[in-house]
Amino acid sequence: MTTQHTSTDRTDNTDREPMTDGGTDDAARTDGGPPATIPPDDETPTWSERKERSQGLSRLTYEYFERARREDQDLRQESTYVERDVLGFPAWPHETIRNLAITSFFVGIIILISATIPMYFENPANPSSTPSIILPDWYLYWSFGLLKLNPINPELSVLGGNLVVSHEFYGVLAHGLIIGVVALVPFLNKGNARRPVEQPFWSAVGVMGVLLSITLAALAIQNFFPFELELLFSMSFILPVLGGAITYAVLKTMREGYMYDLNKRYYRLRPPK
């Protein structure tokens, strides 16, 4: 609880020293200067205060908690890291009321739309007549599209020309492939870049994925398109690659252009790795 004084002292000493680029720390900082408006909360009773009369194992537990807290505090006092107090946004009432407002608005939208656009209900199931158009809900169109990739599935056949791997199984495999790649993203794309401009390649991959899911959905509802299936099929794979390339070019240009200048002050504080 006494780190407050040491941290302010340290800030005062270092603030005026010129940095290597000629400016001062004061000029470069973007966090609004030393705030220190809200002191650390001393009202919370310590565990020892609350548990002074406890016995046995619980006593030992809380004695250990106290030791651990003291150890933390000592380490904090010894370190050169400058602690800054933060200006808070209280959980109650500010945050709570904001969340309630957002929640009511969203639920209201759901109710409004369900009242104005009611859902269509169709005929009972008839196993003996296959409908001309079979479709899942819209969110599974991409998955349904994966089952219609027959022309690009390699045709492995042995002995009598029977397919070793059926088209349906290629569809199932494609699902596994896509889900596996998506799950592995954090292990493929490392580093601490956050903005799309900082990582043009991975943003392009993302745009490609989004466009591919859309074109796969279009492939699933191919009956609704007035042009040839072959054209639709080619476009399903050309469009995502095209979109990815455009994204990459645009982001590269933005990175070289104005965005980098806008953020120069930020990058001076935290150089990109």
Partner 1 sequence: MSLEKKDEFDHDAWLKRKDLTAVETVFLTTLIWIDKRLRIVDYLELLETLYYRINLQMPKSHTEQYDLDNKFWYWYPLYSLGSLSVIAYLVAAVSGALLGFYYSPSTAGAAATGDPTAAWLSIEMIIKDLQFGFMLRSIHRWAAQFMMAAVFLHMLRVYFTGAYKEPREGNWILGVILILLTLLFGYSGYVLPWKQLSFWAAQIGVEMALATPIVGEWAAQLMFGGFTLGQATLVRMYILHVFLLPFVVTALIALHIGIVWVQGIAEPH
Binding to partner 1 (CB under 8 A) within 131-190 occurs at 131, 134-140, 143-144, 147, 166, 168-169, 171-172, 179, 182-183, 185-187, 189-190
Residues 11-30 that bind partner 1 (CB under 8 A): 30
Give the helix ranges, DSSP H, for 189-257: 200-220, 229-256
Q: How far is the CB of 225 from partner 1 (least distance, A)?
A: 20
Q: Which two tokens stand for residue 215?
A: 């074109």
Is the Cβ of residue 82 or residue 231 nearer to partner 1 in the bound state? 82
Is the Cβ of residue 103 or residue 234 nearer to partner 1 in the bound state? 103
Q: How far is the CB of 209 from partner 1 (least distance, A)?
A: 8
- Please, which residues have CB within 8 angstroms of residue 201's CB and are 6 or more apart in sequence? 248
Residues present in the chain in total: 273
**Binding-site string for partner 1 from residue 183 to residue 222, where x marks contact by CB under 8 A and - marks none:** x-xxx-xxxxxxxx-xx--xx--x---x------------
Q: Which stretch binds partner 1 (CB under 8 A): 64-72, 128-136, 149-157, 223-231?
A: 128-136
Residues 250-269 that bind partner 1 (CB under 8 A): 266
Is the Cβ of residue 235 or residue 259 nearer to partner 1 in the bound state? 259
Q: How far is the CB of 219 from partner 1 (least distance, A)?
A: 15
Q: How far is the CB of 166 from partner 1 (least distance, A)?
A: 5
Q: How far is the CB of 160 from partner 1 (least distance, A)?
A: 18
Is the Cβ of residue 196 or residue 233 nearer to partner 1 in the bound state? 196
Is the Cβ of residue 127 or residue 226 nearer to partner 1 in the bound state? 127
Cα(18)–Cα(22) distance, integer angstroms: 6
Omega within 30 of 0 (cis) for the link into 226: no
DSSP 8: H
- Please, which residues have CB within 8 angstroms of residue 211's CB and are 6 or more apart in sequence? 239, 240, 243, 244
> 10 Å Cβ neighbour count for 73?
13
Is the Cβ of residue 60 or residue 231 nearer to partner 1 in the bound state? 60
Residues 34-93 that bind partner 1 (CB under 8 A): 38, 41, 43-44, 50, 53, 86-92
**Number of residues in contact with partner 1, rule: CB under 8 A?**
78
Cα(231)–Cα(95) distance, integer angstroms: 52
Tell how far CA 188 is from the center of its chain.
15
DSSP 223: G
Q: How far is the CB of 227 from partner 1 (least distance, A)?
A: 25
Q: Which two tokens stand for residue 88?
A: 């808070």
Run of H or E residues at 162: strand 162-163
Phi, psi of 175 (to 5 degrees): -55, -50
Cα(273)–Cα(271) distance, integer angstroms: 6
Is the Cβ of residue 147 or residue 254 nearer to partner 1 in the bound state? 147
